[in-house]
A and B are shown apart, each in its own frame.
Chain A
Amino acid sequence: MSFEKFLFYVFAAILVFAAVMVITRKNPVHSALFLVLAFFNSAGLWMLAEAEFLAIALVLVYVGAVMVLFLFVVMMLDINIAELRAGFVRNAPVAILVAIAMVIELVIVVGPQRFGLDEVAAPAAKPAGYSNTEELGLALFTQHLYAFEIAAVILLVGIVAAIGLTMRRRPDTKSQDPSRQVTVKAKDRLRVIKMDAEEKA
């Protein structure tokens, strides 16, 4: 067994293990961290497939950015686990049906008949000077320009949607505005009333 093959099995084994842990851990934070581990090992697998840029970009974008958001969300939202589990038994039959349907579909689409070296040839080992980034850039900015611009629009939609969903004016913040504080005049705050002295009855 060559060293690359050995590495492949190590990465793949950890990946499968991490993926199982993601869906079986009770604590959502642990699940999210196992997902990070899973991404790391997929990056290793992509690297073995000679996709240098994509492997590092996976770490950069998914591990470095997307999972940070996931962690923010699962750590800081009080997710009541007991409440989530309450419906488990009731929903189980439907869930099992959906799961079986998904498995069958997956096997049809990406079943074992589509794998193996006769279906997908192993990438040829590239020389040391080979730049994956360059090749990707050449393809992206010549053949796939249209898709690239669409990506920009999708990201724009993402920005707008994120702001629309999360921006809330919070009336209860106690922040100060110094410029307003210093421009306050006495007559804005204080009213002097003249009235006759009252006599004791």
Chain B
Amino acid sequence: MLETYLPVLIFIVIGTAVGAAMIGLGFALSPNRPDSEKNSPYECGFEAFEDSRMKFDVRYYLVAILFIIFDLEIAFLFPWAVVLDQIGMVGFWAMMIFLGILVVGFIYEWKKGALEWE
């Protein structure tokens, strides 16, 4: 089984290396004449003020947390879908209960307004 993953590993390495090589090529070919105006962060005609890495709405964290939970759910669904033919009705109903419990959670977050973006 491992030998089928060797090309995958090499592909990941080469894919990233292609990106690095292109950027390297860009540095090699392009001019480099920095000045303070050119290197200042983009703003609409005035000097940048404050730190640009600011606090933001807690809602984005909530999205990220909910994403983790649903991602885990997907990770559970994958092996289930593969063996659905072999585990029979017991396995089928087990997943239905699992999904049911999580749908309860989904309804809860919907009703609580966690999915509202005004």
CB closest residue in chain B, given A55: B5
Determine, out of A13-21, A81-89, A99-107, A146-154, the stretch whose residues face the partner at the interface.
Answer: A146-154
B104 touches A52 (CB 8 A): no
- Residue from B1, B3, B95 having most chain A Cβ neighbours under 10 A: B1
Q: How many residues of A contact B (CB 8 A)?
A: 55
Binding site secondary structure of chain B: helix
Q: Which residues of A contact B94 (CB under 8 A)?
A: 141, 145, 148-149
- Residue from A75, A148, A163 having most chain B Cβ neighbours under 10 A: A163
A156 → B minimal CB distance (Å): 5
B71 touches A61 (CB 8 A): yes
Interchain pairs with CB closer than 8 A, number? 149
Q: Which residues of A contact B104 (CB under 8 A)?
A: 156
Name A155's contact: one of B54, B67, B69, B91 (CB within 8 Å).
B69
State A145–B89 Cα separation when bound (angstroms).
13
State A168–B114 Cα separation when bound (angstroms).
10
A67 → B minimal CB distance (Å): 10
A65 touches B5 (CB 8 A): no
State A47–B12 Cα separation when bound (angstroms).
15
B2 touches A47 (CB 8 A): yes
B58 touches A166 (CB 8 A): yes
A76 touches B55 (CB 8 A): yes
B75 touches A138 (CB 8 A): no
B86 CB-CB contact with A under 8 Å: yes
B: interface residue count bin: 35 or more
State A64–B64 Cα separation when bound (angstroms).
11
B32 → A minimal CB distance (Å): 26
Name B71's contact: one of A50, A60, A142, A152 (CB within 8 Å).
A60
A128 touches B79 (CB 8 A): no
A48 CB-CB contact with B under 8 Å: yes
Given that A128-B4, A134-B83, A155-B69 are contacting pairs, would A168 and B58 also be in contact in the complex, using a CB cutoff of 8 Å? Answer: yes
Chain B 64-103, CB-CB to A under 8 Å as 1, else 0, gives 1111110111111011101100110011001101100110
Given A68-B67, A76-B55, A160-B105, 15 extra CB contacts under 8 A = A53-B79, A61-B72, A65-B71, A66-B68, A68-B64, A76-B56, A78-B53, A140-B79, A141-B94, A142-B87, A145-B94, A151-B98, A155-B102, A159-B102, A163-B114
State the A residues within 8 Å of B (CB): 4, 44, 47-48, 50, 52-53, 57, 60-61, 64-66, 68-69, 72-73, 75-78, 125-128, 130-134, 136-138, 140-142, 145, 148-149, 151-153, 155-156, 158-160, 162-163, 166-168, 173, 175, 177
3 closest Cβ pairs, A-B complex: A137-B79, A137-B83, A159-B105
Q: 14 A-B contacts, Cβ less than 8 Å apart?
A: A65-B68, A78-B51, A133-B82, A134-B83, A141-B90, A149-B101, A152-B97, A152-B102, A153-B101, A155-B101, A158-B69, A159-B69, A163-B108, A173-B118
